[in-house]
Amino acid sequence: MTSPLDLADIAPSVDALFAEWDRPDSPGCTVAVIRDGRTIYQKGFGMANLEYGIPNSPNTIYHVASISKQFTAFAVQLLAADGKISLDDDVRKFVPELHDNGCSMTLRHLIHHTSGLRDQWNLLGLAGWRSGDVITEEDILRVTWRQMELNFETGSEFCYSNTGYTLLGLIVKRVSGASLRLFCQERIFGPLGMTSTHFHDDNTEIVKDRAYSYSRNPSGTFQSFPLQYANVGATSLFTTLEDMALWDRNFDSPKVGDTALLAEMHKGGVLNNGVELDYASGLINGRYRGLRTVGHDGADAGFRTAYRRFPDQRVAVMVFANLSSFEPNLLVQRVADLFLGDVMDPIAEGETDSPTAPAEFPVSQDDLRQYLGDYYSHELGVIYSISEVEGELRMEFPKGVAILQPVGADAFNAHPIGVMTFEREQGSISGFRLDNGRVRRLLFEVWRH
């Protein structure tokens, strides 16, 4: 492992990894490396705000997206340590509005993404919401309460669900009597001295020194990629590198929570069949080049974030970026290579598989016309309309138009929203089920005018 004497030699190599963004006309990132609880490298690259020419710096405040989840899980673990809840409590004990699917769904299931709950962002996207829309906790809960089915039997599979973490934030509020923001301020951020950190539950709030969100135009220039979330639990933590260094230190030298609680934070979930998961409490247990890792990534609008700990070496690397094309996980690995390469396994020659498009399935024009019409989802409250245009099936949905490509009997690929499988009653089309990864078998029925 690199000695302190080598840091001066390594720093230029780290700088070089981020040189392409280190310009006054580009969004960029902030980067930190921590060893033994002490920050040994931190720097900002590019701009936090292009409109006013404000550069990124180690104290720039970032929306860190799903890195937020470990703090929500920690809040739940604190309530469990207080004896106010059990992780084996049924979710409906605290959230009776959630539809009862006839099987127990516990807080552990929410924490480990094994609940079967459909993902809130996918559902809202299918209902017509856009990333620039103001999305409140109430908006998310409203679409969640409408869901009558799960993606799968609770506990039988892992499928990442932001919905579960929004519900955990709600449970913290209902059990403690304080918002997740206030609870974390009193129990986590305040005691650790994280003075620039909060759960951003008010999208109109002004936050000094914050980074703004950007993406690239097709022409290659940058454009604003606004984020207007007013919801917390799954996302919306605002923090800095310097504050995250205090959080990182708490894993090795607990000031908030004890060793038992921190051990519980690192326990992976277990499926009904006994298979153990890498996903723990907002933390993912993994390995990189032979070394044990713990961390999480995040992506919302143009924000791209990664936080990775190498616990056996007491080293952590963070990259917070404000450009949607950024790949922070890859850059975290490249930074780690520089600092820990001498204790890592050689880089393996990996194979990459290119995704292939679904094969086309021949369907006659007469057969295509049987799918025409309007279809209504009771769980989203929206209508999707299928029409024939120049020999193709086109589906209008709240965010645009999709061309339907036949991929099987009664099955169509509806890029970019998912795969549709039509259902029949007595031979006639009665509706279809939509699958798009984190939402499965969402029912749309023929709309009867």
pTM (global) more than 0.75: yes
The third-level CATH classification (topology) of the domain covering 30-343 is Beta-lactamase (3.40.710)
pLDDT-based confidence at 3, cuts 50/70/90?
Answer: low
Tell me what the pLDDT averaged over the chain comes to.
93
Instruction: State how far the Cα of 274 lies from the Cα of 269, in Å rounded to an integer.
Output: 9
Structure confidence by residue, pLDDT tens digits, 8-49? 789 999 999 999 999 999 999 999 999 999 999 999 999 999
Structure confidence by residue, pLDDT tens digits, 250-284? 999 999 999 999 999 999 999 999 999 999 999 99
- The full set of domain ranges for the chain reads 30-343, 365-446
Judged on CB neighbours under 10 Å (0-12, 13-18, 19+), 183 is buried
Structure confidence by residue, pLDDT tens digits, 132-177? 899 999 999 999 999 999 999 999 999 999 999 999 999 999 999 9
Per-residue model confidence (pLDDT) at position 152: 97
Instruction: State how far the Cα of 344 lies from the Cα of 98, in Å rounded to an integer.
Output: 47
Average pLDDT for 301-314: 97
Per-residue model confidence (pLDDT) at position 43: 97
Per-residue model confidence (pLDDT) at position 240: 98
- CATH class, range 365-446: mainly beta
Nearest CA to 233 out of 95, 33, 382, 84 is that of 95
Structure confidence by residue, pLDDT tens digits, 325-365? 999 999 999 999 999 999 999 987 653 334 444 555 777 87
* Strand 303-310, strand 291-300: pairing: antiparallel
Average pLDDT for 56-61: 97
Structure confidence by residue, pLDDT tens digits, 65-100? 999 999 999 999 999 999 999 999 999 999 999 999
Sequence-distant (≥ 6) Cβ neighbours of residue 415 within 8 angstroms: 402, 403, 405
* Adjacent-strand bridge partners of 223: 215
- Positive or negative, the CA dihedral 444, 382, 127, 163 is negative
* Strand 229-230, strand 135-136: pairing: parallel
Per-residue model confidence (pLDDT) at position 1: 61
Is-contact 115 101, C-beta < 8 A?
Answer: no
pLDDT-based confidence at 245, cuts 50/70/90?
Answer: very high
Instruction: State how far the Cα of 178 lies from the Cα of 188, in Å rounded to an integer.
Output: 14
Per-residue model confidence (pLDDT) at position 432: 97
Structure confidence by residue, pLDDT tens digits, 194-242? 999 999 999 999 999 999 999 998 888 999 999 999 999 999 999 999 9
